[in-house]
């Protein structure tokens, strides 16, 4: 005897089967609808035609700019005080090496590691005049003996020649007696334009601690740019 098992639509089993079929159908339909909807692929960026709100005013951005400017000023001050400084040439005493209104870069660190040497161009505050710095060339250093004979410079009895210098080297002050021995811790400086320079021939040797720095670069005007030995 063959028995058949039928399921009534109204039975609980029939209801569960119909629910599974309906849910599966809805899931497929929902997925197809979502896949065909453009908004599913829309990004957060606004369309070209949509108005874009302007960025709100930001005090933080202003503060960052102010901080950057303050840092730049601090760095500039530190460099000027301890490393390098820009100096404008105001005398004609170094022509033609340096002309009036030339601008030079002065190193303040060179003489922390080395001593001034003959031939160095230095910026210093002379003991007789502190209103403006002087720019001269060191021609003799501590312990050397300077003489001026026949319009020429002699150091330790030998002619000391600087190719950049021109004009005769004459005495400028009766108070400076030659031969003149440069004291310890001092230097003797002269301008390259020998006949138009107020220098150590007038006010004597100067202390090393009056030196501001060593001229390492003439950068203005640009067509006269040159690096000096440093």
Domain boundaries in the chain? 84-227
- Positions of the chain with pLDDT lower than 50, given as ranges: 1-17, 19, 21-26, 39-45
Q: What is the pLDDT of residue 117?
A: 95
Q: What is the pLDDT of residue 42?
A: 45
Told to judge if 158 belongs to the known catalytic residues of this protein, a careful annotator would answer no
pTM greater than the 0.75 cutoff: no
Q: What is the pLDDT of residue 113?
A: 86
Q: What is the pLDDT of residue 43?
A: 42
The answer to whether the bond into 107 is cis (omega within 30° of 0) is no
Q: What is the pLDDT of residue 49?
A: 55
Q: What is the pLDDT of residue 6?
A: 44
Q: Which of 206, 178, 179 is nearest to 120 (CA)?
A: 206
Q: Does domain 84-227 have CATH number 2.10.109.10?
A: yes
Q: What is the pLDDT of residue 37?
A: 55
Q: What is the pLDDT of residue 9?
A: 41
Q: What is the pLDDT of residue 62?
A: 82
Told to judge if 93 belongs to the known catalytic residues of this protein, a careful annotator would answer yes
Q: Where are the alpha helices (DSSP H) in 36-93?
A: 59-78
Q: What is the pLDDT of residue 3?
A: 46
Among candidate residues 108, 136, 200, 214, the one labeled active-site is 136
- In angstroms, rounded to a whole number, what is the distance separating the alpha carbons of residues 147 and 157? 7
Q: What is the pLDDT of residue 205?
A: 97
């Amino acid at each position: 005897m063959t028995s058949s098992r039928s399921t009534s639509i109204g039975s609980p089993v029939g209801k569960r089967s119909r629910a599974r079929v309906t849910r599966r159908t809805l899931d497929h339909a929902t997925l197809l609808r979502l896949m065909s909807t453009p908004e599913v692929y829309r990004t957060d960026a606004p369309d070209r035609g949509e108005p874009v709100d302007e960025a709100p005013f930001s005090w933080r951005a202003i503060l960052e700019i102010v901080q950057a400017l303050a840092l730049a000023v601090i760095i500039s001050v530190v460099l000027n005080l301890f490393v390098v400084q820009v100096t404008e040439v105001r005398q004609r005493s170094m022509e033609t090496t340096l002309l009036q209104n030339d601008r030079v870069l002065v190193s303040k660190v060179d003489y922390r590691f080395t001593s001034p040497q003959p031939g160095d161009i230095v910026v210093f505050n002379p003991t007789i005049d502190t209103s403006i710095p002087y720019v001269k060339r060191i021609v003799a250093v501590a312990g050397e003996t300077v003489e001026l004979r026949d319009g020429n410079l002699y150091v330790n009895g030998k002619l000391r020649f600087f190719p950049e210098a021109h004009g005769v080297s004459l005495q400028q002050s009766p108070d400076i007696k030659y031969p003149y021995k440069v004291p310890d811790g001092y230097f003797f400086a002269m301008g390259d334009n020998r006949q138009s320079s107020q220098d150590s021939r007038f006010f004597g040797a100067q202390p090393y601690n009056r030196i501001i720095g060593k001229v390492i670069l003439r950068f203005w005007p640009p067509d006269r740019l040159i690096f000096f030995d440093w």
